[in-house]
Amino acid sequence: QVRLVESGGGLVQAGDSLRLSCAASGLTISSYAMGWFRQAPGKEREFVGITSQGSGSTYYKSSVKGRFTISRDNTKNAMFLQMNSLKPEDTAVYYCAATGDYFVRPDSDFEYWGQGTEVTVSS
Protein backbone atom coordinates (compact mmCIF):
# COMPACT_ATOMS: atom_id res chain seq x y z
CA GLN A 1 0.00 0.00 0.00
CA VAL A 2 1.38 3.37 -1.04
CA ARG A 3 1.40 6.11 1.55
CA LEU A 4 2.65 9.67 1.34
CA VAL A 5 2.68 11.50 4.66
CA GLU A 6 3.35 15.23 4.86
CA SER A 7 4.56 16.97 7.98
CA GLY A 8 6.15 20.23 9.04
CA GLY A 9 3.28 22.64 8.60
CA GLY A 10 2.34 25.23 11.17
CA LEU A 11 1.59 28.86 11.97
CA VAL A 12 4.36 31.31 11.15
CA GLN A 13 4.75 35.02 10.54
CA ALA A 14 5.40 36.64 7.20
CA GLY A 15 9.08 36.40 6.34
CA ASP A 16 9.62 33.19 8.30
CA SER A 17 10.67 29.83 6.90
CA LEU A 18 9.24 26.32 7.09
CA ARG A 19 10.44 22.97 5.84
CA LEU A 20 7.80 20.48 4.81
CA SER A 21 8.54 16.78 4.57
CA CYS A 22 6.88 14.05 2.56
CA ALA A 23 7.67 10.54 3.75
CA ALA A 24 6.87 7.78 1.28
CA SER A 25 6.16 4.11 1.87
CA GLY A 26 5.07 1.47 -0.56
CA LEU A 27 6.95 3.14 -3.40
CA THR A 28 10.52 4.19 -4.08
CA ILE A 29 10.56 7.91 -4.76
CA SER A 30 13.69 7.68 -6.89
CA SER A 31 11.51 5.87 -9.45
CA TYR A 32 8.83 8.56 -9.44
CA ALA A 33 8.45 12.18 -10.31
CA MET A 34 7.21 14.06 -7.29
CA GLY A 35 5.33 17.25 -6.75
CA TRP A 36 4.08 19.72 -4.19
CA PHE A 37 0.63 21.26 -4.51
CA ARG A 38 -1.42 23.51 -2.28
CA GLN A 39 -5.03 24.46 -1.72
CA ALA A 40 -5.94 27.73 -0.08
CA PRO A 41 -9.32 28.19 1.62
CA GLY A 42 -12.04 28.65 -0.96
CA LYS A 43 -9.68 28.06 -3.88
CA GLU A 44 -8.80 25.20 -6.16
CA ARG A 45 -5.70 23.12 -5.61
CA GLU A 46 -2.70 24.53 -7.47
CA PHE A 47 0.73 23.39 -8.49
CA VAL A 48 3.68 24.60 -6.41
CA GLY A 49 6.66 22.69 -7.77
CA ILE A 50 7.73 19.41 -9.30
CA THR A 51 10.88 17.33 -9.42
CA SER A 52 11.55 14.79 -12.12
CA GLN A 53 12.74 11.26 -11.53
CA GLY A 54 16.22 10.52 -12.70
CA SER A 55 17.89 13.93 -12.97
CA GLY A 56 15.74 15.41 -10.23
CA SER A 57 15.35 18.64 -12.15
CA THR A 58 12.82 21.02 -10.66
CA TYR A 59 10.20 23.45 -11.90
CA TYR A 60 8.27 25.92 -9.77
CA LYS A 61 5.19 28.08 -9.86
CA SER A 62 6.39 31.57 -10.70
CA SER A 63 5.18 33.11 -7.44
CA VAL A 64 7.32 30.76 -5.32
CA LYS A 65 10.40 30.55 -7.53
CA GLY A 66 13.43 31.79 -5.63
CA ARG A 67 11.70 31.32 -2.28
CA PHE A 68 10.79 27.61 -2.32
CA THR A 69 13.16 24.71 -2.97
CA ILE A 70 12.30 21.05 -3.51
CA SER A 71 14.80 18.39 -2.57
CA ARG A 72 14.85 14.63 -2.20
CA ASP A 73 16.65 12.24 0.11
CA ASN A 74 16.44 8.90 -1.62
CA THR A 75 18.10 7.15 1.32
CA LYS A 76 15.18 8.24 3.50
CA ASN A 77 12.65 7.85 0.69
CA ALA A 78 11.50 11.38 1.38
CA MET A 79 10.99 14.69 -0.36
CA PHE A 80 11.17 18.15 1.16
CA LEU A 81 9.91 21.64 0.46
CA GLN A 82 11.99 24.41 1.96
CA MET A 83 9.88 27.55 2.07
CA ASN A 84 11.60 30.85 2.78
CA SER A 85 10.32 34.42 2.93
CA LEU A 86 6.80 33.18 3.47
CA LYS A 87 3.91 35.46 2.62
CA PRO A 88 0.28 35.45 3.80
CA GLU A 89 -0.75 34.35 0.31
CA ASP A 90 1.23 31.13 0.85
CA THR A 91 -1.37 30.09 3.43
CA ALA A 92 -2.81 26.75 2.31
CA VAL A 93 -2.89 23.03 2.87
CA TYR A 94 0.18 21.60 1.17
CA TYR A 95 0.12 18.19 -0.47
CA CYS A 96 2.83 15.99 -1.88
CA ALA A 97 2.15 13.69 -4.79
CA ALA A 98 3.87 11.09 -6.93
CA THR A 99 3.56 10.16 -10.59
CA GLY A 100 5.16 7.61 -12.84
CA ASP A 101 5.10 10.17 -15.67
CA TYR A 102 8.77 10.47 -16.63
CA PHE A 103 8.17 13.72 -18.49
CA VAL A 104 6.38 15.27 -15.54
CA ARG A 105 4.48 18.52 -16.00
CA PRO A 106 2.35 20.54 -13.58
CA ASP A 107 -0.76 19.00 -15.17
CA SER A 108 0.53 15.40 -15.09
CA ASP A 109 -1.73 12.76 -13.64
CA PHE A 110 -0.36 12.24 -10.14
CA GLU A 111 -1.47 8.81 -8.97
CA TYR A 112 -0.61 9.09 -5.30
CA TRP A 113 -1.38 11.88 -2.86
CA GLY A 114 -0.75 12.60 0.79
CA GLN A 115 -3.32 13.89 3.25
CA GLY A 116 -1.81 17.36 3.44
CA THR A 117 -0.21 19.60 6.05
CA GLU A 118 -1.53 23.04 6.87
CA VAL A 119 0.58 26.16 6.57
CA THR A 120 -0.69 29.46 7.91
CA VAL A 121 1.28 32.65 7.41
CA SER A 122 0.19 35.66 9.43
CA SER A 123 0.92 39.21 8.35
- In the prediction, which pLDDT does 102 show? 85
Model pLDDT for residues 44-103, shown as the tens digit of each residue: 999 999 999 877 899 999 999 999 999 999 899 999 999 999 999 999 999 999 999 888
pLDDT score recorded for residue 44: 97
Classify strands 10-13 and 117-122 as parallel, antiparallel or unpaired: parallel
Backbone angles phi, psi at 82, to 5 degrees: -85, 120
Q: How far apart are CA 4 and CA 74, in angstroms?
A: 14
pLDDT(21) > 80: yes
Determine the pLDDT at residue 103. Answer: 84
Mean pLDDT of 13-18: 98
pLDDT classification of 4: cutoffs 50, 70, 90 = very high
